[in-house]
A and B are shown apart, each in its own frame.
Chain A
Amino acid sequence: MTKQAKSAGKTLSRLQRRAGASLWWAIALPLVSGGLLVWQAATLAHVVGQAVESRVELTALLPSLALILALMGARALFSGIGDWLGTRGAEAIKQALRQDLLAGLLARSPRRQDQPHSGAAVTAIIDQVEALDGYFARYIPAAAQAALLPLVFGAIILPLDWVAGTLFLVSAPLIPLFMALVGWGAQAATDRQAQALSRLSGRFADRLRGLLTLKLFGREAAETDGIMLASENLRRRTLRVLGIAFLSSAVLEFFAALGVAGVALYLGLTFIDFLHLRSSPLTLELALFLLLMAPEVYNPLRLLAAHYHDRAAAKAAVAEIEAQLGFLTDGVPTLSDAAPCLGRALAVTLSGVTLRTPDHQRVLVENIELDIAPGQHIALLGPSGQGKSTLLDAIAGLRTHEGDILLDGKPLGDWPEHHLRARTFLLTQRPRLLHASLADNIALARPGASRRDIETAAERASVMPFAAALPYGLDTIIGEDGLGLSGGQAQRVALARLFLRDAGLILLDEPTAHLDPALEAEIMSALLAYARGRTLIVATHSHAAAAQLDKTWRIAGQSLVPVAISAKRKGVA
């Protein structure tokens, strides 16, 4: 067993504890049902033995027939309930794990470099977690049955007939051994095969993602053939491996068949006095009981074999989740919203601040100093890529920095996260919209905002003019990444969120980038009206926008330079 597989196994057993009592019942009920099975077989053998050997009348046997019916009914119920409880346990684990995984991801900084992209996160949280289902719901109960029932059955049979009992007790534990021997050689090949399979589905997904590119290069036929060829190659190789893998289940079948056939022959030969291995005479009742139990001894093992791959799948899924998300722990932070808190405008002080690109390769700004009085409105100019966005991010506490950033004289690090979020607002350059209605997207800024407030905010951010043209107005559902809206429209929806907040410090990154001059002027005036009495920092290309603010700074050569702009000069930086 590799180290990785071992740690995956540990993780699985840790997860198992979260299922609560359901899983224990899911394990226990089939065992109880196994006990009832012995009773059922004994009764059935008794009825037939009595009727055939002792010529007992049918009417006298009717209660026993009823008992068989009742026992079979009870076993059906137990196994049904056991199945369902297994599912319940597995669902509880999956649901808790999904919550924790997402919480863990969200609790990290959104600017972390190793944050997985959304596709990988979806696959891990939805698909890989789903792959754990079979392990908890079916494999674990099956493993318990396979470990206990054959031995219990053997122990019950042994005092009744030592030959059959010994046959069962010896052959049942031998089966896993033989399966392991046969499976051994196949294991490495199976692992390689699983890798090849995941490579193929990886390739399939990869090509699907780039389908448009392939189409534009005229690769329709070639790629379709390529995928089918790869798929066919994999099939041929998979079959070679499966051929061996199926041998191990054939071994199981062999023993099961041998058990039944062997017991039948042994009993028949004993009856006709060919074999004399028993000290007491054999009755038909006992012989039938032994024959009925023979397949049941091997059934739990067959069940386990059927669910054996669930374990491998679960281990692979755990490894994959850990590889994609980088963690799979119990200690997960609880997430809560920042409660709104009122306050005055914030003063911003930068002293000796140095910012680097996320990979730390390049210095963006070095040793900058800036003092912004509460309520002051500041413009940041400069070509893109010079660090305007990074500076806004840093002031909002999203990036690491060297030097001191103080809000109201208090270093950023000393601000409780919730307090910081309630008092600041940052509009990023590429705000993301959710797959929800426009109104819900705006209301994100204040959960529980009233409809009137949302409409007012939409009005102020000039969302209303284009929303009115949409089929359901503000209730129109927009897609992931704001699909269905233009860049400028998406920006305005995100801006509308500002008007539902009560921030003492407003940081806006290119709020008017995608807008024409008339709309820009309209939005700037709404913004300035709202920002009265609040500190405002706007990163912008637009001199027109900058000219309406109290002061303008420019990032040039890694430092901040004050700029004098007259309101008359308009244009693009």
Chain B
Amino acid sequence: MSVLTMFIPLFKRRLGALSLTLLLSVVTLASGIALLGTSGWFITATALTTLGLGFNLFVPSAMVRAFSFVRILARYGERFVGHNATLKLLSDLRGWLFGALFPRLPLADRSIRHGDIVSRLTADIDALDVAFLVAVGPMLGALLIGTVMTVVLALLLPGAAIIYGACIGLAAIAVPVILVLVARKAGRDTVLAAADARIAVYDAINGHADLTILGVLGSAHARFNDIAERLRDRRLLLAALTSGAAVLVQFLAALALVGTLWQGLAAQEAGTLDPAVLVGLVLAVLGSFEATGVIVRSVGKSLAAFAAAERLNALTQVPPAIVEPAHPKPFPTDHSVTLSDVHFSYDAGAPVLKGVTLTMAQGERIAIAGPSGGGKSTLLHLLLRLAEPHCGTIRIGTTRLSDIKSSEVHAHIALLSQDSPVFIDTIRNNLRVARAAADDEALWQALAVARLDTFVASLPQGLDTVVGESGRTLSAGQMRRLCLARTLLSQASIILLDEPTDALDRANEIAFFETLRAATVGKTVIMVTHADVPPGTVDRVVEMRNGTIRD
């Protein structure tokens, strides 16, 4: 539960609205109880009165009407304020997550890779936002209501106060706490089983071709079924525990009611309690268990919120990949690149780079060829300061790369990777990711260099055409060109390309390389590729094998 403390600052910012929600929910519950209690008292009093038409009708009927309207208004207010606070919290959470993620990129790393990270993050955020409204709110509300009712009983019917107080205390505190303790493992198992099911689908779809070829679709499907059945069983266990707790709470409500009735009848018989007050109290007790009814279900839901909090929390525990220099130096004007004897490995794994030495003059264009997985992409990441070499140095001009702030590095070195995304947004906004202030002229120029201008001009909405995701508007080749245009727009003087033509067929690949040659005149270009590069595209091809470069 301690992971929830993580999010306390976020909740604190919305403390006012959340408290108001709580207050309104308590008012709603209290007026409901008062409505029932007053009604019970009222009809009993009228039934027993000998005054006939002389009975003071005005006060009780006014109270009944007042409680009704207070209840309606309070409920409306509670829902409105509560949803507003929740939605604000959700905005905060999204912002917080982005803020926490950026310095920790790239997340390509080991600890966090369960199924599709993205859908997991969105699901976790959504699970967390209800944490207050579904768990904390009702529990506090029930406690407040229970305390007030116990005090009222203590004043009017002391014998019942003990029974009632014990029952509502057990229902509002003990049962939820026991449920959390008992169901925590079941809750975590459920989350784990769901994560496993995610991975199983992911594996089955990604490996579909291989599974088909090997003729083992049956096993793959059976494996998923086992996990899906485990998920089902875990959830059923969790549901059984939650339902059991709900039954317990209702038993306690029954005990409180019958106990109050018993004590009340005894007091009435003894003449120490007015019959009308007795009926009013019994009905009020009955009404007060509306408050505990939702607790158990909320606790069940909050178990998922805890798991989500734990996983989001894990993200913020990942240490940032690099340390920014204490006394940063400016990005040099000499854009030559020198790598001397660079070594690197991920975590404690096998070395990926084993002594890379490479010198590039300013404005030179080279291609790094060689088997994929040989460390080429890692090399580009080091050049972008997304990770630090274990030993050896990288210099731009004569300045060590590690002496330059990473934001400076990114302003001067741009990457076009094989999975550079086209965002779900207009073409204009997709381009402006690279340079927010770029005017249309600059955008068209970049599109022209990437040879996409004619196509974009032919679209009815031109630069305002929404693209991305399904990629219906753009072909794979056009998407690459859009990403190239974006990269060029950034005005970086060193351009890194990581398998830029991986998703293209050969005809598109050749066309892309031709565009590239024209588009990068005067820039330093490092391109990692295993494609056949047409002559003239680059000045030099070096080969990288087993983590070393042979010039």
Assembled-state Cα–Cα distance A417/B216 (Å)? 12
Q: Does B332 contact A (CB under 8 A)?
A: no
Q: Does B542 contact A (CB under 8 A)?
A: no
- Report the stretch among A4-12, A178-186, A227-235 that lies at the interface: A227-235
Q: Does B423 contact A (CB under 8 A)?
A: yes
Q: Contact: B423 with A418, CB < 8 Å?
A: no
Q: Does A201 contact B (CB under 8 A)?
A: yes
Q: Contact: B209 with A428, CB < 8 Å?
A: yes
Q: Does B7 contact A (CB under 8 A)?
A: no
Assembled-state Cα–Cα distance A363/B52 (Å)? 100
| Nearest CB of chain A from residue B419's CB, rounded to whole Å | 9
Q: Contact: B220 with A106, CB < 8 Å?
A: yes
Q: Does A127 contact B (CB under 8 A)?
A: yes
Q: List 17 A-B contacts (CB under 8 A).
A: A58-B266, A58-B269, A95-B228, A117-B205, A118-B202, A235-B88, A261-B67, A268-B42, A271-B43, A272-B46, A288-B279, A386-B506, A424-B213, A426-B213, A433-B207, A434-B207, A490-B373
Q: Which residues of A contact B208 (CB under 8 A)?
A: 105-106, 110, 115
Q: Does B255 contact A (CB under 8 A)?
A: yes
Q: Contact: A494 with B113, CB < 8 Å?
A: no
Q: Does A20 contact B (CB under 8 A)?
A: no
Given contacts A206-B424, A239-B87, A432-B210, contact A116 B205 (CB under 8 A): yes
Cross-chain contact of B98 among A47, A125, A223, A336 (Cβ < 8 A): A223
Assembled-state Cα–Cα distance A148/B76 (Å)? 27
Q: Contact: A118 with B228, CB < 8 Å?
A: no
Q: Which residues of A contact B123 (CB under 8 A)?
A: 127
Cross-chain contact of A254 among B46, B72, B244 (Cβ < 8 A): B72
Given contacts A209-B421, A383-B506, contact A72 B469 (CB under 8 A): no
Q: Contact: A61 with B215, CB < 8 Å?
A: no
- Report the stretch among B138-146, B233-241, B388-396, B515-523 that lies at the interface: B233-241
Q: Contact: A217 with B468, CB < 8 Å?
A: no
Cross-chain contact of A102 among B90, B118, B201, B433 (Cβ < 8 A): B201
Given contacts A84-B243, A258-B68, A295-B36, contact A111 B209 (CB under 8 A): yes
Q: Contact: A337 with B218, CB < 8 Å?
A: yes
Cross-chain contact of A385 among B372, B424, B433, B505 (Cβ < 8 A): B505
Q: Does A444 contact B (CB under 8 A)?
A: yes
| Nearest CB of chain B from residue A90's CB, rounded to whole Å | 9
Q: Interface readout for A125-136 with B: 1 if CB under 8 Å, 0 if not?
A: 111000000000
Q: Contact: A83 with B122, CB < 8 Å?
A: no
| Nearest CB of chain A from residue B296's CB, rounded to whole Å | 10
Q: Contact: B35 with A126, CB < 8 Å?
A: no
Interface residues of B in 188-209 (CB under 8 A from A): 194, 197-199, 201-209
Interface residues of A in 34-87 (CB under 8 A from B): 44, 47-48, 51-53, 57-58, 61, 65, 68-69, 72-73, 75-77, 79-81, 83-84, 87
Interface residues of A in 187-242 (CB under 8 A from B): 201-220, 222-225, 227-228, 231-232, 234-235, 238-239, 242
- 9 A-B pairs with least C-beta separation: A385-B506, A338-B215, A421-B215, A486-B373, A487-B373, A76-B250, A514-B371, A72-B254, A257-B68
Q: Does A483 contact B (CB under 8 A)?
A: yes
Q: Contact: A268 with B424, CB < 8 Å?
A: no
Q: Which residues of B contact A246 (CB under 8 A)?
A: 76, 79-80
Q: Does B265 contact A (CB under 8 A)?
A: yes
* Residue of B with least CB distance to A72: B254
Cross-chain contact of A58 among B71, B265, B425 (Cβ < 8 A): B265
Q: Contact: B220 with A239, CB < 8 Å?
A: no
Q: Contact: B254 with A398, CB < 8 Å?
A: no
Q: Which residues of B contact A215 (CB under 8 A)?
A: 102, 105, 410
Q: Which residues of A contact B173 (CB under 8 A)?
A: none
Assembled-state Cα–Cα distance A493/B282 (Å)? 73
Q: Does A28 contact B (CB under 8 A)?
A: no
Cross-chain contact of B122 among A105, A205, A337, A424 (Cβ < 8 A): A205
Q: Does B170 contact A (CB under 8 A)?
A: no
Assembled-state Cα–Cα distance A345/B43 (Å)? 95
* Residue of A with least CB distance to B99: A224
Given contacts A102-B201, A111-B209, A217-B433, contact A83 B243 (CB under 8 A): yes
Given contacts A211-B105, A385-B507, A490-B373, contact A106 B228 (CB under 8 A): no
Assembled-state Cα–Cα distance A258/B71 (Å)? 11
Assembled-state Cα–Cα distance A106/B106 (Å)? 32
Q: Contact: B239 with A486, CB < 8 Å?
A: no
Q: Does A445 contact B (CB under 8 A)?
A: yes
Assembled-state Cα–Cα distance A69/B423 (Å)? 62
| Nearest CB of chain B from residue A157's CB, rounded to whole Å | 15
Cross-chain contact of B106 among A48, A51, A102, A212 (Cβ < 8 A): A212
Q: Contact: A72 with B43, CB < 8 Å?
A: no
Q: Contact: A273 with B52, CB < 8 Å?
A: yes
- Report the stretch among B53-61, B149-157, B160-168, B443-451 that lies at the interface: B53-61
Q: Contact: B210 with A431, CB < 8 Å?
A: yes
A interface residues, tally (CB under 8 Å): 161
| Nearest CB of chain B from residue A358's CB, rounded to whole Å | 10
Assembled-state Cα–Cα distance A337/B216 (Å)? 5
Q: Contact: B373 with A228, CB < 8 Å?
A: no
Q: Which of B39, B51, B57, B469 has the most CB of A within 10 A?
A: B39
Given contacts A99-B221, A209-B421, contact A216 B202 (CB under 8 A): no
- Report the stretch among B176-184, B256-264, B322-330, B457-465 that lies at the interface: B256-264
* Residue of B with least CB distance to A57: B269
Q: Which residues of B contact A371 (CB under 8 A)?
A: none
Chain B, interface SS category: helix
Assembled-state Cα–Cα distance A209/B411 (Å)? 21
Q: Contact: A479 with B384, CB < 8 Å?
A: no
Q: Contact: A398 with B350, CB < 8 Å?
A: no
Q: Contact: A81 with B122, CB < 8 Å?
A: no
Q: Interface readout for B210-234 with A: 1 if CB under 8 Å, 0 if not?
A: 1111111111110011001101100
* Residue of A with least CB distance to B108: A483
Q: Which residues of A contact B87 (CB under 8 A)?
A: 231, 234-235, 238-239
Q: Does A335 contact B (CB under 8 A)?
A: yes
| Nearest CB of chain B from residue A138's CB, rounded to whole Å | 10
Assembled-state Cα–Cα distance A222/B375 (Å)? 32
Q: Does A414 contact B (CB under 8 A)?
A: no
Assembled-state Cα–Cα distance A426/B213 (Å)? 6
Q: Does B473 contact A (CB under 8 A)?
A: no
Assembled-state Cα–Cα distance A84/B236 (Å)? 8
* Residue of A with least CB distance to B546: A516
Q: Contact: B506 with A384, CB < 8 Å?
A: yes
Q: Contact: B90 with A52, CB < 8 Å?
A: no
Q: Interface readout for B80-91 with A: 1 if CB under 8 Å, 0 if not?
A: 100110011011
Q: Does B101 contact A (CB under 8 A)?
A: yes
Q: Which residues of B contact A126 (CB under 8 A)?
A: 115, 119, 194, 197-198, 201
Cross-chain contact of A515 among B371, B505, B506 (Cβ < 8 A): B371
Q: Which residues of A contact B243 (CB under 8 A)?
A: 80-81, 83-84, 87
Cross-chain contact of A488 among B42, B45, B265, B374 (Cβ < 8 A): B374
Q: Which residues of A contact B47 (CB under 8 A)?
A: 52-53, 271, 282-284, 287
Q: Does A264 contact B (CB under 8 A)?
A: yes
Q: Does B40 contact A (CB under 8 A)?
A: yes
Q: Does A88 contact B (CB under 8 A)?
A: yes
Given contacts A122-B198, A211-B101, contact A206 B421 (CB under 8 A): yes
* Residue of B with least CB distance to A507: B213
Given contacts A91-B235, A516-B546, contact A269 B116 (CB under 8 A): no
Q: Which residues of A contact B235 (CB under 8 A)?
A: 87, 91
Assembled-state Cα–Cα distance A79/B250 (Å)? 10
Q: Does B148 contact A (CB under 8 A)?
A: no
Q: Does B131 contact A (CB under 8 A)?
A: no
Q: Contact: A118 with B221, CB < 8 Å?
A: no
Q: A94-B232, A264-B38, A265-B64 are in contact. List 7 more A-B contacts (CB 8 A).
A: A98-B228, A122-B205, A212-B386, A224-B95, A260-B39, A362-B505, A466-B350
| Nearest CB of chain B from residue A76's CB, rounded to whole Å | 3
Q: Does B12 contact A (CB under 8 A)?
A: no
Q: Does B420 contact A (CB under 8 A)?
A: yes
Q: Contact: A445 with B214, CB < 8 Å?
A: yes
